[in-house]
Structure formats: structure tokens, C-alpha cells
Amino acid sequence: MLMAGAPLPDTRAILPRPAASDDRSWPALTGQKAIDRFKIYCSYMAIQGEAPDQGRPNHSCSGGRTVVPSSDYLKSLVDIEAGRISPEIFIDEDIYRLELDRVFGRNWLFLAHDSMIPKPGDFFSTYMGGDPVVVARQPDGSVRAFLNACRHRGMRVCRAESGNTKSFFCTYHGWAYDTAGNLINVPNLSDAYKDRLSLKDNGLIPVARIESYKGLIFGNFDATAPSLEEHLGDLKYYIDGWVDQVDGGIEVLPGVVRWTINANWKLAAEQFAGDTYHAPTSHASSLLSFGPPFEGKDGAHVAFREGHGESFLFKRHTRFSEDPLSLYNDAKLEAAKARVGDRAEFVANFTAFPAFSGLPGSSNIRVWHPKGPNKFEIWSFTVVDKNAPPEAKKAMQVSASFTEGPAGVVETDDGENWGLIGAILEQGHQARKMRWNYQMGDYPATGHEEFPGAYRDSFFGEAGHRAFYRRWLEFMTSEEWPVLTQEERDAFNKPGA
């Protein structure tokens, strides 16, 4: 990992000089040769059990040990006050490894919805960061989750995406676990272990915390983290405006759509945190089919001190057909407004820090699963009103696929944008020295008497982006969960601040 603008290492300082009898010259190496020699050095030092030169904390050694980026270095890459961010945070391997520990290893991550595992024994396989986990409904109705890795050799104990079971079985050596993660059977226990193996001490590694909000189930590996509701903060108000519009709430339809993008997961998460500025350009052709063009005054964007972001249009665009979805939305509108007010008409997008996003107006929620510094998977779920008629649910599913599926008229634009950015960063050098501009909407929050959070009265802005990276930096530079005080939240949300 090279700091933007930092000189390449002079390998004469880190490799032994030739013996005096060796008449070869010892020139300074630069460019790729310097990097290659430094990697060889790092591999050698790793074999010797020694750390690379501590005077070079910002160089990554392929094949050697991962170098933990320092807090000062990370802060030099992310300048929230100036609205400038280095693209190194989207491509650097060491930063990515630290993210897995400090961001994904101790944050609230979306696992499933209640409707996906309604009965005891129902399970769903997913990821928390890079780790595979299984979420399972217990006989008492509670939910547990655990690493999908056998305690014997780390093999998956569940190789199905979802289903119903009484136990999970490792197909490598045959260890079996119940749906609570307890080890219940070991083949040849008496002969192989002479009855000295403790079943109790070899259960699956549990996800420390499982909590839900309005049927949305989240997990956290950090037992000391604040509650899910505290983490969601004022974003709950906007989630309520989506899920509480009708009796019965929402449900997730069967089937998860997954696809891969060769880019960094944060590019997608930040976009859903409030980047509506891209829509008139990136989605110009598709938006023409949905209604007249929108302007900044047609909506607003809201940032949250917890790192979340949301933007929304105040009202749905004019429709041009009597399709089942439009008819259903028209029929429920007045009742929905009586329950949640103006939120019933919002066309919104949001990100709950770090990697859970939604497009309620498109019947879609999704998770950004990191697969490397320059690769992530999108897991997309179709969300419908639970008590909607079947034809309306089908129309919601078709609409979600048409716009936000992997071949959707909107989604393909986003995937192309993210992928091309990823290619530039992966292959380029000068491009990684840039400082990207995050200054849009960098004016005091205007506030709103009804809508909480740091509210700004324009559909266009990057306040949610800055809130996202402010929180990201706090996690990346903290040894423990960076606790927020109510005073910090109030100061962040205060109009004029």
C-alpha cells in the first residue's frame, strides 16, 4: 500500500548490500523493480518470523504479512471537513482487511427478514463481511446465527441457500450440529477421542448479537455494541414510513438475486445513501419512461450521525398505465397517509451503515457483500406488502426485476459505472493519487419540523456520503465501538449546523 504521492522505496535500504568482493554495482531501483524487490524482501522477512521494516508502515507485502494502516494514514485519506477522499480507500488490500475486522466485524449487518424463516428449523445462508453464516429459527421462535464453519476443520456445515432442517452436517468428517449450533454428534467419538472430546465446548461459533426491527433481522459479532435501534437512530422514522403503510407490514418474496461487480462495495453503499445527482445523467433514457424530469426542489436528502443516509422525492411521478401495481398503490394511498403521513408518497433510497440499502419505491432491499478490495456481490430481495393481493405482489416483483435486477434498465447503468471505476483504480497509478470531491450539499442543514436527521431541502447532495465516511473513519481508527453521545447527534442534526 503506497500513500498517494509517496516515493517508491529505495531497496538499497532494505536488502543486504553485495559483499565487498562482488564488483557488481548497487544502483537504486525505482518503479516496478523496486516494488517487486520489496515484495521479495517482505516474503523473506515473513519466513524469518520478523515484521517488515517498521519505518515503512504504509507498504503492503504480497505474500507477506498484512500491514495495518495507521490511524494517521487513514485520516490523511479521508478529509470530511474539506469534502475530499482518496480513492486508495476503495482499492487498497490492507485497508480492506482492516474493514473486515473493524467495520464488518463489529457492526449491525442485515441477515434476513422474518418472512424468510417463519417456521422452526427454517434457515437462510448468508455472509457477514467475508464470513459465511447461517441464520436459523429456533423451536421457541427466537433466531440464532453462527459461522457456517465446522469446529473441526472449518468446512461448511450448511451448503444449501435456504430450507428447513433439524440439524447441520459437515460433509468432511461428519460432525453434526443442531439448529442452535450445538455439537450433537461426532462419528466414532469413543474410538477417535477416547471420550475426551467435549461436545459442549465445540459448538459452532455464534453471532454474538441478534436483534430485529420491524421484521428486519440483523446480526453483530461485537457483544459490546449498542442496540440495533440505537444504531439505526432517526433512520427508524423513515423505515417506519415504508413498512407501516398497511396492516401486516412487509414480507420478502422467495428467491434472492445475486450478481458480482468488480468494484469496491462502498461505491454502491454511498450511492444509496443519497446520490440522486447521478440519476438524470446515468439513467436519462430509463427515467424518460417513468415521468417528467425531476429537480432538486422536488425532494430532499437526510444525513444521520450514525453513518446512514437517505434521499427522496416527495411524490411519485405521474403514471401512464392502469397496471396492477399502480392501481394497488392508488387504492392504498389514503389509508397509508393516515398511518404514516407524507412518507406514504416518498420515492426513497437509503443506506443503513455499513452495507444494507433499500429502494422502497422499487420494492427492493439489498446487501453489499464485500469479496475483496475490488469486488463485491449484490444480494437483492423483493419486498412487498404482506397483505397485498397476489396480482399486486406479482407486479411488484416484475417492477423490481425490470428496474433493479441485474439486467434492469436502471441497474445496468449503475453496474457499468461502478465496474469502470474499479477498473481504473485496479489498473491505474496516477488515478489513485486523486482526491475525489464530496462537497455537494456542504451547507448547513435546513431542518424540517416533521422529518428528523440532518435534513437538507434539495434532492441533490452528498451530506449522506460525508456522514457515511465520517462513521467509516471512526470505526477504522478505533479499537472499540466508537460510541456516539446524544449531544453529538443533536449537534449534527441542528439546523444551521
Domains along the sequence of the chain with CATH: 1-67 (no CATH), 109-209 (2.102.10.10), 234-493 (3.90.380.10)
- E strand or H helix at 305: none
Q: Given this model, what pLDDT does residue 12 score?
A: 34
Q: Given this model, what pLDDT does residue 409 score?
A: 84
- E strand or H helix at 127: strand 122-128
Q: Given this model, what pLDDT does residue 57 score?
A: 41
67: Cβ contacts below 8 Å, ≥ 6 apart: 1, 52, 57, 58, 59, 60, 61, 94
The model's pLDDT over 147-161, given as tens digits with 9 standing for 90+, comes to: 999 999 999 999 999
Asked if the model's pLDDT at residue 92 lies above 70, the reply is yes
Asked if the model's pLDDT at residue 237 lies above 80, the reply is yes
Asked if the model's pLDDT at residue 300 lies above 50, the reply is yes
Confidence of residue 169 (pLDDT cuts 50, 70, 90): very high
Rounded to an integer, the average pLDDT of 246-270 is: 96
Residue corresponding to grid cell 465501538: 481
Rounded to an integer, the average pLDDT of 449-470 is: 92
Rounded to an integer, the average pLDDT of 318-328 is: 69
Q: How far is CA 4 from CA 73, 76, 96, 373, in A?
A: 10, 10, 17, 17
Confidence of residue 63 (pLDDT cuts 50, 70, 90): very low
Asked if the model's pLDDT at residue 292 lies above 80, the reply is no
More confident residue, 79 or 279: 79
Q: Given this model, what pLDDT does residue 280 score?
A: 79
Q: Given this model, what pLDDT does residue 283 score?
A: 78
How many residues make up the chain in this entry? 497
DSSP reduced 3-state for 349 = strand
Q: Given this model, what pLDDT does residue 399 score?
A: 84
Tell me the whole-structure pTM to 2 decimals. Answer: 0.84
The chain-wide mean pLDDT, for the chain, equals 86
Asked if the model's pLDDT at residue 430 lies above 90, the reply is yes
Q: Given this model, what pLDDT does residue 23 score?
A: 40
Asked if the model's pLDDT at residue 318 lies above 90, the reply is no
Confidence of residue 346 (pLDDT cuts 50, 70, 90): confident
Confidence of residue 420 (pLDDT cuts 50, 70, 90): very high
In the beta sheet, which residues pair with residue 413? none
Confidence of residue 360 (pLDDT cuts 50, 70, 90): confident
Asked if the model's pLDDT at residue 294 lies above 80, the reply is no
Confidence of residue 231 (pLDDT cuts 50, 70, 90): very high
Catalytic residues: 173, 275, 278, 283, 414
Asked if the model's pLDDT at residue 486 lies above 90, the reply is yes
- Which grid coordinates belong to 221? 459479532
Asked if the model's pLDDT at residue 192 lies above 80, the reply is yes
More confident residue, 22 or 443: 443
Q: Which of 376, 424, 383 is nearest to 116 (CA)?
A: 383
Asked if the model's pLDDT at residue 31 lies above 90, the reply is no
Q: Given this model, what pLDDT does residue 196 score?
A: 94
Lowest-confidence region among 40-49, 232-241, 327-336: 40-49
Rounded to an integer, the average pLDDT of 53-80 is: 68
Rounded to an integer, the average pLDDT of 177-205 is: 96
Rounded to an integer, the average pLDDT of 59-80 is: 77
Q: Given this model, what pLDDT does residue 342 score?
A: 85
Query: In angstroms, rounded to a whole number, what is the distance separating the alpha carbons of residues 84 and 77?
Result: 8
Q: Given this model, what pLDDT does residue 343 score?
A: 87
Confidence of residue 441 (pLDDT cuts 50, 70, 90): confident
HSE-up (13 A, CA, CB side) for residue 269: 23
- Contact indicator for 280, 442 with CB cutoff of 8 Å: no
Neighbours of 257 (CB within 10 A): 18
Q: Which of 267, 251, 399, 376 is nearest to 328 (CA)?
A: 399
DSSP reduced 3-state for 374 = coil
Asked if the model's pLDDT at residue 7 lies above 90, the reply is no
Query: In angstroms, rounded to a whole number, what is the distance separating the alpha carbons of residues 22 and 253?
Result: 72
Rounded to an integer, the average pLDDT of 448-462 is: 90
Rounded to an integer, the average pLDDT of 3-28 is: 41
Lowest-confidence region among 32-36, 157-161, 315-319: 32-36
Lowest-confidence region among 208-212, 404-408, 421-425, 432-436: 404-408
Q: How far is CA 65 from CA 49, 61, 343, in A?
A: 10, 6, 50
